[in-house]
Amino acid sequence: MDYLSDERKKSDFDVEAMKVAWAGSIQEFQLSDRMAKLVANDPVFEKFTRPMLGRKELLKNTLRKSAHAWKLIIDLRLSEEEAKWLRLYVDEPAYTDLHWGMFIPAIEGQGTEEQKKKWLPLAKKMQIIGCYAQTELGHGSNVQGLETTATFDTRTDEFIMHSPTLTSSKWWPGGLGKLSTHAVVYARLIVGGQFHGVHGFIVQLRSLEDHSPLPGITVGDIGLKFGNGAYNTMDNGVLRFDHVRIPRNQMLMRVSQVTKEGKIMQSDVPRQLIYGTMVYVRQTIVADASKALSRAVCIATRYSAVRRQFGSRDGGPETQVIDYKTQQSRLFPLLASAYAFRFVSEWLKSLYLDVKQRLEANEFSTLPEAHACTAGLKSLTTTATADGIEECRKLCGGHGYLVSSGLPELFAVYIPACTYEGDNVVLMLQVARFLVKTVSELGHKKPVGTTAYMGRVASLMQKNSAVQTAEGWLNPGAVVEAFESRAARMAVRCAQELAKFGNPEEGFAELAVDLVEVAVSHCQLIVVTKFFEKLQQDIPGKGVKESLEVLCYVYALFLLHKHQGDFLATGYLTPKQASLANAQLRTLYSKVRPNAIALVDSFSYTDHYLGSILGRYDGNVYPKLYEAAWEDPLNDSDVIDGFHQYVQPILKQRLHSAKL
Ligand SMILES: CCCCCCC/C=C/C(=O)SCCNC(=O)CCNC(=O)[C@H](O)C(C)(C)COP(=O)(O)OP(=O)(O)OC[C@H]1O[C@@H](n2cnc3c(N)ncnc32)[C@H](O)[C@@H]1OP(=O)(O)O
Ligand SMILES: Cc1cc2nc3c(=O)[nH]c(=O)nc-3n(C[C@H](O)[C@H](O)[C@H](O)COP(=O)(O)OP(=O)(O)OC[C@H]3O[C@@H](n4cnc5c(N)ncnc54)[C@H](O)[C@@H]3O)c2cc1C
């Protein structure tokens, strides 16, 4: 029985076409759909019992799933793209994420041709397992502050890897604790007693025969993390070196080379390329944000249509909670954000691929913008997604707190995304630096790409919004101009404040809070702009473009409402115009309402991937919640183990004292 079938009948767009729009192309949709079903139909990938497992059992279970996934990849001759989707739908953080997601990309981006030829085939056949060991106990954000040393010994043509202090212990790298045989280790290069910056080195950690740590290497897991199950399927690790020697050719030498004689040779490649793996991964994290948020929204939307509270005076059905305006005002902006993040990630991927091609041809001019966009959008989308998942839990009332809702584990797995690959505040400060630099160069350098609007700064500072009615906000030009003016005005005002400081670094530190707000407004502008640009494309299917247009306005006007203080303080909007935007937002929620279920169905998630009783496709929530309760180990027996030992004596004692 489909309890949501009436809801599905209400929608006025072609869901199958929307699935394609969400996936990006028919090919992407088919590929992803095939992998989702492959995983969902395979009992090895069951995941409901995960939060009940102890740590050792949990990790072993992950290893079993990863081995099965690898067997499928080999047996079915899956492409790298298919394998990526397969791992995604297995939906369990594992050492393989770092092997494929960071170790291999680090070698691809920073290795020489010779190094790539040697290491990549081994890694791609999984004959070695690698991780990305950058962060230390004492330093994570400040990469230049890392303490691990790689000292060149000209006599033996080797580097000596050493952890000189406790705080120099590598700490956090995923896959490091128990599984990796190798790591790309970031360390201070020391040649002839001189420090030559932080570089990556390929270091073997464990024997390829019996997996024991090699001499001089201390390695282990850093311990339990937030939540049951969740990210505890990953062996985040600690690593120390005691004068471990590696051959010279294991320093990743695309950026700088060390010769046999101990000479440092700089190539034309900028040193920032050492940070290149982070640019790549941040871009993938933006795509992951749309996936995590859309999962949470799918659960909360379906459940909001099933759940009823109040509104019946005559014994008829109560009101579906999705019909309350307050529920809509919390849920629909998140639904719109999931779509917005999906489309901005599509654009970011194309920007990244373009930069990657240029880097391969030794053309580095677009690297600063790629860094600012990946850092800023990673920060913006992961913050909104982490907050959004928690909001979805609240939108599901009490049942959202049950592990079987899928939301607690999704939250626990997701929240470190605000920290890993760069703390979100630290990353926004990087964007702010880039913007301040752009403003300071306006006189002699035409801004391009995502900062092109700064080239129109004079008119953006003068012109105010012309919107007169609520309908006036349904105009891409009016909306984009509002976001451009807000971002430009905030950036210029901050640059003027900075100019008052004799020492720019002192000014930057003092104005950091305002600078983060400037960076956020710039990143929101990017997301809004890319959503409108997406709507310029040919999007086939009845009603698909129209539904996306509604979501685009919801996303933009929700942000405008939330940050109306900025729009008013910069003088671009009047209070009347801000309140017209809010009135339009209410109308837009009414337009989303009949399509809400179809819009989440368009994510095309299997019940396996959602992992939620509240989010079931068929809406059959209550019987399944009831059934699941009886599957809890506590209900294996009517009288709980421990009762006779610890509870009964108390009860008996009570009886005794009552007699007294
Ligand atoms: C698929 C995988 C699944 C995901 C699982 C997640 C696993 C998690 C993995 C990790 O967390 S790995 C560790 C990630 N660590 C970080 O992200 C550390 C964050 N810190 C930094 O990125 C940097 O250190 C910093 C904060 C950006 C640097 O600050 P600082 O001011 O000290 O910088 P400098 O080193 O002096 O360089 C400044 C110069 O370089 C430019 N720049 C900085 N980062 C990049 C970059 N990634 N790409 C290109 N350019 C970069 C920066 O703009 C400055 O340029 P100029 O102004 O000098 O031109
Ligand atoms: C689940 C997980 C997986 C990870 N996986 C890996 C991995 O595979 N490999 C790896 O190398 N690392 C990994 N890390 C480490 C991760 O990259 C770092 O934790 C992250 O970069 C943040 O650095 P930090 O821990 O030093 O935070 P800190 O920099 O110590 O941050 C603490 C606080 O200080 C603030 N702060 C710091 N600097 C500034 C500043 N300049 N201005 C203003 N505020 C500031 C931050 O905003 C934050 O509030 C992982 C971390 C987690 C949680």
Chain segment 254-266, per-residue pLDDT in tens: 999 999 999 999 8
pLDDT of amino acid 657: 57
Q: What's the CA gap between 112 and 289, in Å, rounded? A: 32
Among residues 309, 456, 316, which one has the least CA distance to residue 396?
309
Of residues 421, 484, 517, 549, which has the active-site annotation? 421
Bridge partners (DSSP) of residue 187 are: 199
Counting ligand 1 atoms within 8 A of each CB, the residue from 170, 430, 437, 515 with the most, and so the one to mutate, is 430
DSSP string for 225-289: -STTTGGGGS--EEEEESSEEEEGGGB--SSEEE-TTS-EEE-SS-GGGGGHHHHHHHHHHHHHH
135 marked among binding-site residues:
yes
pLDDT of amino acid 660: 54
Average pLDDT of every residue of the chain:
96
Counting ligand 1 atoms within 8 A of each CB, the residue from 275, 425, 434 with the most, and so the one to mutate, is 275
Query: Which ligand 1 atom sits nearest the alpha carbon of residue 437?
Result: 57
Q: Give distance in angstroms: CA of 227 to centre of ligand 2.
A: 19
pLDDT digits 0-9 by tens, 446-460? 999 999 999 999 999
Question: Could you confirm whether domain 128-267 is CATH 3.30.2130.10?
Answer: no
| Strand-strand pairing, 182-191 and 149-153 | parallel
Concerning whether 497 is annotated as a catalytic residue, the answer is no
Residue 472 CB-half CA count within 13 A: 15
Residue nearest to atom 17 of ligand 2 (CA): 420
pLDDT of amino acid 277: 92
pLDDT digits 0-9 by tens, 125-140? 999 999 999 999 999 9
- CA distances to 96, 138, 238 from 159, rounded to whole Å, are 28, 23, 21
Query: What residue ranges of the chain are covered by domains with CATH 1.20.140.10?
Result: 1-46+48-90+274-633
Q: Which residues does a 6 A CB cutoff place in the pocket of ligand 1?
A: 97, 101-102, 132, 134-135, 140-144, 174, 272, 275, 278-279, 281, 284, 367-368, 371, 420-422, 426, 430, 433
Report residue 658's pLDDT band, with 50, 70 and 90 as the boundaries. low
Ligand sitting nearest the alpha carbon of 235:
2
Q: What's the CA gap between 443 and 464, in Å, rounded? A: 24
16 pLDDT exceeds 70? Answer: yes
Report residue 271's pLDDT band, with 50, 70 and 90 as the boundaries. confident
| Strand-strand pairing, 244-247 and 217-221 | unpaired
Torsion of the alpha carbons at 637, 640, 645 and 648, rounded to the nearest 10: -100
Query: What residue ranges of the chain are covered by domains with CATH 2.40.110.10?
Result: 128-267
Q: Which residues contact 339 (CB under 8 A, 6 or more apart)?
A: 22, 290, 294, 531, 548, 551, 552, 555, 599
**CATH code of the domain occupying 1-46+48-90+274-633:** 1.20.140.10
Q: Give distance in angstroms: CA of 148 to centre of ligand 2.
A: 17
Tell me the mean pLDDT in the region 143-153: 98
Q: Could you tell me the two tokens for 306?
A: 């099933």
pLDDT of amino acid 13: 98
pLDDT of amino acid 316: 87
Query: Is 416 close to ligand 2, i.e. is its CB under 6 Å away?
Result: yes
Bridge partners (DSSP) of residue 240 are: 218
